[in-house]
Amino acid sequence: MEPMIRTYGLTKHYGRTVALDSLDLEVPPGLVFGCLGPNGAGKTTAIRLLVGLLKPTRGRAEVLGIDATRHSDRVQAVVGYLPGDFRAYPDLTGEQYLRYLGNLRGGVDWKAVTALAERLELDTSRRVGALSHGNRQKVGIVQAFMNEPELLILDEPTSGLDPLMQREFLTLVREVRAAGRTVFLSSHILSEVEAVADAVGILRRGRLVVVDSVDNLRARALRRIDLTFAAEPPVAVLAAVPGVRDVQTSGATAHLVVEGSTADLIAALSPYRVEDVVSHEADLEEIFLAFYDGREV
């Protein structure tokens, strides 16, 4: 199947500042792809290039097989896009604004709009300018989802939402994936991405440093394991096990940092009586920080 997003050496300079550097990326259909990085990493620049709001310094982006620079109007007509700095006409009510956008896109099923607004507890009868930041963000979410696009490109979509609405938003994303559609989700909230993403890309100072599935990244990551022995921990034996990066002890408990598979560790433990094992599985935050500390997972 053709990728929903494909970039070739996509690069953007602002004067001497390199915001995005030679991005080569493919996002297949039917999954949630998380784009991670702190502010200034290049996430928003990449998204604006994908939807044709910026022209690249060099390279090319294709979205649903459409050249995003040459045919930005076509891309914007078929993609559900939520910018990181979403703004709407403040003098219109939420309903007026959403109807206006629906008409621009050739019509929208108003029942779908109503259902989305109800799920997000959004009062569309109020003027956009009178809404709180969180409720304006809900308007942005509704306009991105309401046409049921094949591809959603969302930049920091839960900004301003309370925890209950964040949870409802993530449910919406899962429903989109279950329907076979695709989501490109940029966020600095790692727990949010981990909750829904099938694969992630990590940007560091404008460069893509890794693309992999969340499961594969976890499998490659360092994990912490606490082993409590019936007697003094065999520190030398543990330190010699392949994959064990560090061993610290406190009483009868050995605190290990292990890379990759624990098969060798389990085999090495067979002669010893282990009374308790606590495994702290790596999460996306640890993996992300590992790349920003300058080491690979």
The CATH number covering residue 113 comes to 3.40.50.300
Rounded average pLDDT over 272-296: 76
Q: Decide: 1 and 28 in contact? Cβ < 8 Å.
A: yes
- My answer on whether 254 and 145 are in the same domain is no
Per the prediction, the chain carries an average pLDDT of 91
Residue 131 lies in a domain: yes
Residue 91 lies in a domain: yes
Structure confidence at residue 90 (pLDDT): 95
Structure confidence at residue 64 (pLDDT): 95
- My answer on whether 120 and 261 are in the same domain is no
Structure confidence at residue 20 (pLDDT): 96
Residue 294 lies in a domain: no
Structure confidence at residue 128 (pLDDT): 96
- My answer on whether 154 and 267 are in the same domain is no
* Total structural domains within the chain: 2
- My answer on whether 19 and 145 are in the same domain is yes
Residue 179 lies in a domain: yes
Residue 118 lies in a domain: yes
- My answer on whether 95 and 171 are in the same domain is yes
In the chain, beta strands by DSSP E: 5-14, 17-27, 32-36, 58-63, 66-67, 79-82, 151-155, 182-187, 199-204, 207-213, 222-229, 244-250, 253-259, 274-280
Structure confidence at residue 295 (pLDDT): 53
Above 70 in pLDDT, residue 296?
A: no
- My answer on whether 194 and 48 are in the same domain is yes
Rounded average pLDDT over 267-290: 84
Which pTM value belongs to this model? 0.81
- Write the pLDDT tens digit of every residue in 165-195: 999 999 999 999 999 999 999 987 778 888 8
Write out the residue range of the structural domain in which residue 166 sits: 5-216
Residue 288 lies in a domain: no
Structure confidence at residue 11 (pLDDT): 97
- Write the pLDDT tens digit of every residue in 138-150: 999 999 999 999 9
- Write the pLDDT tens digit of every residue in 206-265: 999 889 888 888 777 778 899 999 999 999 999 999 989 899 999 999 999 888 778 999
- My answer on whether 97 and 201 are in the same domain is yes
- My answer on whether 154 and 250 are in the same domain is no
> Where does the pLDDT of residue 106 fall: very low under 50, low under 70, confident under 90, or very high at 90 and above?
confident
Residue 127 lies in a domain: yes
Residue 87 lies in a domain: yes
- Write the pLDDT tens digit of every residue in 15-67: 999 999 999 999 999 999 999 888 888 999 999 999 999 999 999 999 999 99
What whole-number distance in Å separates Cα of residue 35 and Cα of residue 197?
Answer: 9
Give the CATH number for residue 238.
3.30.70.100
Q: 66-94 burial string, b = 16+ CB within 10 Å, else e?
A: bebbeebeebbeebbbbbbebebeeebbb
Provide, rounded to the nearest whole percent, the portion of the chain with pLDDT above 70. 95
